[in-house]
Amino acid sequence: LDTNFKGNRHERRVSKIKQFEEKLAPTYSSSGEGRIVILDHPLVRHKVSIIRDKNTSVKEFRELVQEIAGLMVYEITRNLPLVKIEIETPIEKTIGYTLEGKKLAIVPVLRAGLGMVDGILQVIPNAKVGHIGLYRDPETLEPVEYYCKLPSDINERDIFILDPMLATGGSAAAAISLVKSRGARKVTLVCLIAAPEGVERVHQAHPDVDIYAAALDNYLNDHGYIVPGLGDAGDRLFGTK
């Protein structure tokens, strides 16, 4: 983590980051029961470093966001229940395992969350997909909702909210509140880059929600951007701005 900055505000941030680091090993609870799991696998770290690079093209950025999201599925689905089944290999009968048939849904937060959808569906193709449209007001940094379409049986599904950037946490907390208000019971947040401020806000508002991230960054700058981050994820994915 970069601690090469000065001033009281920065010192407070450094101290906050240190508190997080102490708990980061690699799973910790920031407050309440919610966990944050950082996927520090070498492949993930390699790919995250490329998407951070400002010279990475839109095409490569898009491909890598999908690949990272796909790699994260391994960890976010670790606790899916299995049932034993009998199978017959060419050699003999044996016991195998099959997924219990638990229902899943992924819910990308528009726009940037869309970039993670295909990577996840490649690994869990039967998941249903809901959509939540939120944008961050550039002045207040608070989320503004403009769209919501969710599977009707959301109360029977494990919900994975997808958003590459967890900055102030306003968008993620609002998205989680929205799915809960429609009946969701088990919600997990999956992001690529998280800021300590966002982790804390989500866990304060939703202590029951686990957060999975590919990286935990240093702090937010005065414009609410994650430092070092990767810039504006939506713009980089869609080539806007």
Q: Would residue 140 show up in a list of annotated catalytic residues for this protein?
A: yes
| Orientation angle between helical segments 58-76 and 42-52, nearest 10 degrees | 150
217 is known as an active-site residue: no
Is 136 annotated as catalytic? yes
CB 167 → ligand URA: shortest distance, Å? 4
Tokens of 78: 């670790």
Show the tokens assigned to 20.
């997080």
Compute the distance between CA of residue 196 and CA of residue 1 in angstroms, rounded to an integer: 12
Site residues (vs ligand URA, CB under 6 A): 112, 165, 167, 224-226, 229, 232-234
Nearer to ligand URA by C-beta: 112 or 187?
Answer: 112
Rounded to 5 degrees, φ, ψ at 152 are -70, -30
Q: Is 232 a catalytic residue?
A: yes
Burial class of residue 45 (count of CB atoms within 10 Å of its CB; 0-12, 13-18, 19+): middle
Neighbours of 208 (CB within 10 A): 14
User: Which CB atom, from 183 or from 231, has the smaller least distance to ligand URA?
Assistant: 231
Residue 225 binds what, of ligand URA, ligand PRP, none (CB under 5 to 8 Å, by partner type)?
A: ligand URA
For residues 151 and 196, which CB has a smaller minimum distance to ligand PRP in the complex?
196
Q: Which residues face 191 on adjacent strands?
A: 213
Task: Give alpha helix (H) positions in 167-227.
Answer: 170-181, 196-205
Closest contact distance (angstroms) between CB of 134 and ligand URA is 11
72 is in an annotated binding site: no
77 binds, among ligand PRP, ligand URA, none (CB under 5 to 8 A by kind): none
Which amino acid would we find at residue 222?
Answer: D
CB of 14 to ligand PRP, least distance (A): 21
Q: Which residues are annotated as a binding site for uracil?
A: 226, 231-233
Known catalytic residues are 136, 140, 232, 235
Q: Which residues are annotated as a binding site for 5-phospho-alpha-D-ribose 1-diphosphate?
A: 111, 136, 163-171, 232
Q: Which residues are annotated as a binding site?
A: 111, 136, 163-171, 226, 231-233
